[in-house]
Amino acid sequence: MRHLLSTEDLSLHDAIRILDTAEEMSAVGEREVKKLPALRGRTVVNLFFEDSTRTRISFEAAAKRLSADVINFAAKGSSVSKGESLKDTAQTLAAMGADAVVIRHWASGAPHRLAATDWIDAAVINAGDGTHEHPTQALLDAFTMRRHWSKLAGTPSAGADLTGMRVAIAGDVLHSRVARSNVWLLRTLGAEVTLVAPPTLLPIGVEKWPCAVSFDLDETLAQGVDAMMMLRVQGERMNASFFPTTREYSRRWGFDDNRLRALDSLGLKDTIIMHPGPMNRGLEISAAAADSPRSTVLAQVRNGVSIRMAALYLLLSGENREPAAAPVSVSAATSPAANPNLTYSHQESH
């Protein structure tokens, strides 16, 4: 794995490896010293062309817990607002010696562009591009589901997948990169996904996705759901009217108090309610649902740091990584590992 761009092309093996590594990373948050020296001397650039608080600070916390140096680059108030292109920005970062670029961009495909070109020789992590993908969000959702699913089964979560888990994702699928990333990843992990949305908020071609589609949230709940994920109604992307009023949306597709009670009457006592945040309380999720013991919203935020630590660790450690834009360095020629006469056997790890 060189970049983390999408979950569509993420293999089951790689997905499980990220989830298992995140399992070990989560233990660090409970220790006396909440820091590991693994990425000491590496530089991670958070390149954000779009507003984001939680994803950016989550990546920042993850990088800092691994002892990497973090540079935050927000498009607002930077040279990008003066008209600098993505290429020039990337080459500037390359010249500064970035080892990883965490990029969020309003254009779908911007991270792929960065990874496919020779503008910058750094690991690229997609932190959300347009309406395309948001792989680390899907991974932290899957991590949260896997912990819940293994706890129910009474088995350790390490190495497990989500076979047999029924997941419903409801809301603004059309604009949601979270929904897309989740559909691909959850399929890979063996879960059954149902998308629930008004027809106006479903993308063209959704019938070819590896999931079921429903227009009726109550019907989907009645069929049984193990994890209910609500998506945010993205007001900033609503340049046309997709539904008549917010009240009607909330009544038909929001997770309100009636539906929270319905979970109990349907006998779904272990169903969790998920939300990627930020929540529009009272619109797609009621306050009672968001604050109920079923809600995993805060666990998702916590797990986000572990997942991002795992992604950064797996992409940035390892022999195939070369320092970005590094001229021939003196230390590389004299370090023991570069000198075959001094090398000790790596395979044995003694």
The H or E element spanning position 274 is strand 272-274
Q: What's the rounded Cα separation, in Å, for the pair 2 and 100?
A: 10
**Candidates 28-36, 124-132, 268-276, 286-294 — which segment interacts with other proteins by CB under 8 A?**
28-36
Q: What's the rounded Cα separation, in Å, for the pair 65 and 313?
A: 11
Q: Which is nearer to other proteins, 19 or 225 (CB)?
A: 19
Query: In sequence order, what E strands does the chain have?
Result: 43-48, 69-74, 100-105, 123-129, 166-170, 192-196, 212-214, 227-230, 272-274
**Candidates 240-248, 254-262, 284-292, 342-350 — which segment interacts with other proteins by CB under 8 A?**
342-350
Residues 303-322 contacting other proteins, CB under 8 A: 313-314, 317-321
**Residue 45 phi, psi (nearest 5):** -105, 125
Binding string, residues 124-163; x marks residues near other proteins by CB under 8 A = ----------------------------------x-----
Q: What's the rounded Cα separation, in Å, for the pair 212 and 17?
A: 27
340 lines the binding site for other proteins (CB under 8 A): no
CB of 333 to other proteins, least distance (A): 14
Of these, 21, 144, 271, 296, which contacts other proteins (CB under 8 A)? 21
Q: Which is nearer to other proteins, 252 or 321 (CB)?
A: 321
Closest C-alpha to 221, from 254, 185, 183: 254
Angle (nearest 5°) at CA 64 between 50 and 151: 90
Residues 66-105 contacting other proteins, CB under 8 A: 66
61 lines the binding site for other proteins (CB under 8 A): no
Q: What's the rounded Cα separation, in Å, for the pair 272 and 225?
A: 9
| Site residue total, other proteins (CB under 8 A) | 33
331 lines the binding site for other proteins (CB under 8 A): no
CB of 139 to other proteins, least distance (A): 15
Q: What's the rounded Cα separation, in Å, for the pair 312 and 306?
A: 10
Q: What's the rounded Cα separation, in Å, for the pair 85 and 113?
A: 12
Q: Which residues bind other proteins (CB under 8 A)?
A: 17, 20-21, 23-25, 27, 31-33, 35-38, 66, 158, 313-314, 317-321, 336-337, 342, 344-350
